[in-house]
Structure 1
Amino acid sequence: MAGDSSVQADAPVAPPRLGRDFGKLWGAFAASNLGDGIALAAGPLLVASLTSDPALISGAAAVQQLPWLLFSLISGAYVDRLDRRKLIIVVNILRASVIAGLAAAVWTGAVTIPLIYVAFFLVGVAETFADNAGGAMIPAVVDKELLPKANARLTAVHMVGNMMIAPPVGAAVFVIAAALPFGINAVGFLVAAALMASIRYRPEPVEVTERKPLRVEIVEGLKWLWAHRLVRVLAVCLCLMNITFFGPFSILVLYSREHLGLPEIGFGALLATSAVGGLLGTLAVSRLQKRLGDGALLRIGLVVETVTHFALALATDEWLAGAILLVFGAHGAIWGVVSMSVRHRVVPDRLRGRVGSVYYLLVIGGAAIGSLLGGLAARAWGVTAPFWLAGSAMVVLSVFAWRHFSASAFAEEE
Structure 2
Amino acid sequence: MENIARSLSSPRNNFWILWGSTTASNLADGLFKISLPILAAALTQSPGLVAGVTFAITLPWPVLALHAGVLADRYDRRFMMVTANLLRVVILSTIVLFAATDLVSIWMLYGCALLLGVAETFADTAAMALIPAVVQSSSLEKANARLVATQTLTNEFIGPALGGLLTTIGVALTLGLSSGLYALAMFFLLNLVGIFRSERVHSNSISVDLKEGLRYLAKQRLLRTLTLIVGVMAGCWSAWLAILVVYVVEPGPVGLDKWGYGLLLAGIGTGGFIGTLIVNPITNWLGRRWAIGMDILGTFTMMAIPAITTNPILIGIAAIIGGMGGTMWSVVVATLRQKIVPDHLLGRVSGAMRLVGWGTLPIGAAFAGIIAQTAGVRMVFALCAAITCLLFIPFFRIITDEVISTSLRE
Query: What's the TM-score, normalizing by structure 2?
Result: 0.94
CA contact (8 A) 2:20 2:185 kept: yes
Letter in 2 for 1:285: V
CA contact (8 A) 1:107 1:178 kept: no
Task: Work out which of the residue numbers 181, 195, 209 in structure 2 matches 1:217.
Answer: 209
* Structure 1, 156-165 or 315-324: larger mean CA deviation: 315-324
Distance 1:251 1:205 in 2: 43
Distance 2:375 2:61 in 1: 31
Distance 1:203 1:53 in 2: 45
Aligned to 1:298: 292
Task: Work out which of the residue numbers 67, 71, 84 in structure 1 matches 2:77.
Answer: 84
CA contact (8 A) 2:31 2:159 kept: yes
Aligned to 1:140: 133
Aligned to 2:271: 277
CA contact (8 A) 1:259 1:383 kept: no
Count the aligned residue pairs. Answer: 396
CA 383–307 in structure 1, closer or farther in 2 if over 3 Å, else same: same
CA contact (8 A) 2:73 2:344 kept: yes
Aligned to 1:13: none
Aligned to 1:374: 368
* Structure 1, 183-192 or 366-375: larger mean CA deviation: 366-375
Distance 1:208 1:308 in 2: 45
Unmatched runs of 5 consecutive residues or more in structure 2? 1-10
CA contact (8 A) 1:241 1:394 kept: yes
Distance 1:19 1:368 in 2: 42
- Aligned: 1:392 with 2:362: no
Aligned to 1:60: 53
Distance 2:105 2:171 in 1: 13
- Aligned: 1:351 with 2:339: no
Aligned to 2:258: 264
- Aligned: 1:365 with 2:366: no
Task: Work out which of the residue numbers 247, 254, 262 in structure 2 matches 1:255.
Answer: 247
Letter in 2 for 1:118: G
Task: Work out which of the residue numbers 40, 47, 52 in structure 2 matches 1:47.
Answer: 40
- Report the RMSD for the aligned CA atoms in angstroms: 1.4
Q: What's the secondary structure of 1:384's corresponding residue?
A: helix
CA contact (8 A) 2:125 2:350 kept: yes
Q: Which has the larger radius of gyration?
A: 1
Write out per-residue CA displacement over residues 112-138 of structure 1, whole angstroms, 9 at most, x where no aligned residue.
000000000011111111000011000
CA contact (8 A) 1:296 1:407 kept: no
Distance 2:17 2:182 in 1: 14
Q: What's the secondary structure of 2:377's corresponding residue?
A: coil
Q: What's the secondary structure of 2:261's corresponding residue?
A: helix
Aligned to 1:178: 171
Aligned to 2:6: none
Letter in 2 for 1:223: R
Distance 1:240 1:320 in 2: 24
CA contact (8 A) 1:72 1:361 kept: yes
Aligned-pair distance for 1:298? 1.7
Aligned to 1:206: 199
Aligned to 1:73: 66
- Aligned: 1:289 with 2:283: yes
Aligned to 1:229: 221
Letter in 2 for 1:24: I
Distance 2:216 2:14 in 1: 30
Query: What's the TM-score, normalizing by structure 1?
Result: 0.93
Write out per-residue CA displacement over residues 87-107 of structure 1, whole angstroms, 9 at most, x where no aligned residue.
211111111101110111111
Distance 1:28 1:252 in 2: 34
Q: What's the secondary structure of 1:261's corresponding residue?
A: coil
Distance 1:393 1:90 in 2: 41
Write out per-residue CA displacement over residues 240-274 of structure 1, whole angstroms, 9 at most, x where no aligned residue.
11111111221222222113110000111011111
Write out per-residue CA displacement over residues 14-48 of structure 1, whole angstroms, 9 at most, x where no aligned residue.
xxxx9421111011011011011011111111111
Aligned to 1:131: 124
Write out per-residue CA displacement over residues 202-226 of structure 1, whole angstroms, 9 at most, x where no aligned residue.
44762446x3300100110000011
Aligned to 1:383: 377
Aligned to 2:149: 156
Q: What's the secondary structure of 2:398's corresponding residue?
A: helix
Q: What's the secondary structure of 1:259's corresponding residue?
A: coil
Task: Work out which of the residue numbers 388, 392, 399 in structure 2 matches 1:405.
Answer: 399
Aligned to 2:8: none
- Aligned: 1:240 with 2:232: yes
Aligned-pair distance for 1:72? 1.1
Distance 1:153 1:271 in 2: 22
Q: What's the secondary structure of 2:255's corresponding residue?
A: coil
Distance 2:358 2:125 in 1: 13
Q: Percent identity, aligned pairs only?
A: 32
* Structure 1, 392-401 or 342-351: larger mean CA deviation: 392-401
CA 204–65 in structure 1, closer or farther in 2 if over 3 Å, else same: closer
CA contact (8 A) 1:296 1:406 kept: no
* Structure 1, 374-383 or 162-171: larger mean CA deviation: 374-383
Write out per-residue CA displacement over residues 329-350 of structure 1, whole angstroms, 9 at most, x where no aligned residue.
1111101111111101001111
Aligned to 2:4: none
Distance 2:327 2:105 in 1: 37
Distance 1:181 1:251 in 2: 30
Letter in 2 for 1:250: A
Aligned to 1:10: none
* Structure 1, 277-286 or 399-408: larger mean CA deviation: 399-408
Aligned-pair distance for 1:406? 1.4
Distance 1:218 1:259 in 2: 48
Letter in 2 for 1:148: E
CA contact (8 A) 1:31 1:189 kept: yes
Aligned-pair distance for 1:196? 0.3
